[in-house]
Amino acid sequence: MPSEFARTARLAQQFGFGGVQVRAAHGFLLSQFLSPLFNKRSDTYGGTIANRMQLLLKTIEATRAAVGPDFPIAVKLNSSDQLEVVAAQDQSSVDLVDISGGTYFPGAEPASEGAGRGAYFIEFAKRARASTTKPLMLTGGFKTRMQAEDVVASGIVDIVGLARMPVLEPTLPDLWKEGQRPEPLSQIHPQRAELPLGIRYG
């Protein structure tokens, strides 16, 4: 399985992408391996958190071997995962740790920590900052330029990830970089956002 991630990353590189992200969040396979709720294995991939993160670490290393030392690799982790997984990235070859949350499982409790406005997973990001020396990204809930600027200026994370806002307005990141358009033109309901994928974040 790590070889499939590695092959896909290599293809992305060959097609001219600037980097890849290993998605170990949102309840998908690598996320399930990390979670004691899903991972009931009795082999070396189950049990302790050190065992449960083995597949992720092997996936990152296989991906690195496939794309070489200079191609950016990020890993996306859920804020519900242990800080040990964040800390372990110091020994991995990822270039960036992206903190997110939520799950695609229908009926799951909302994963956002906040009250609905602003970045959802900021408290976990603060703890993650103390757990790793790798650059940190925070994804989920950013709706205004000021929210994004504040979290970077405060030093909590280095980069902000945006998904739904650029879906609503594809040029928004460029506008924000130019200091324009503090709010997107359209708005997502701030309290409860049901995405097309079925992932609930709010």
Binding segment (CB under 6 A) for ligand FMN, from list 44-52, 80-88, 174-182, 191-199: 191-199
Place of tokens 């800080």: 83
140 touching ligand FMN, by CB under 6 A: yes
Nearer to ligand FMN, 33 or 142 (CB): 142
**Is 45 within 8 Å of 78 (Cβ atoms)?**
no
Considering only 29, 49, 159, 195, the residue that binds ligand FMN (CB under 6 A) is: 195
The closest alpha carbon to 94, from 28, 30, 27, 166, belongs to 30
Q: Give Cβ neighbours of residue 69 (< 8 Å, ≥ 6 apart).
A: 93
Largest CA distance in the chain: 54
Nearer to ligand FMN, 67 or 172 (CB): 172
12 touching ligand FMN, by CB under 6 A: no
- Between the CA of residue 62 and those of 38, 97, 145, 188, 190, what are the distances in Å? 24, 17, 36, 38, 39
Least distance from ligand FMN to the Cβ atom of residue 78, Å: 10
3-state secondary structure 115-146: CCCCCCCHHHHHHHHCCCCCCEEEECCCCCHH
Nearer to ligand FMN, 129 or 200 (CB): 200
**Contact set for ligand FMN, span 157-176 (CB under 6 A):** 162-165, 167
Considering only 134, 141, 157, 176, the residue that binds ligand FMN (CB under 6 A) is: 141
**Contact set for ligand FMN, span 15-74 (CB under 6 A):** 23
Q: Residue 76 and residue 56: Cα distance in Å, rounded?
A: 11
201 touching ligand FMN, by CB under 6 A: yes
Least distance from ligand FMN to the Cβ atom of residue 137, Å: 10
113 touching ligand FMN, by CB under 6 A: no
The helix or strand, by DSSP H or E, that contains position 177, with its residue range, turns out to be helix 172-177
What is the binding site for ligand FMN (CB under 6 A)?
23, 76, 100, 139-142, 162-165, 167, 195-197, 201
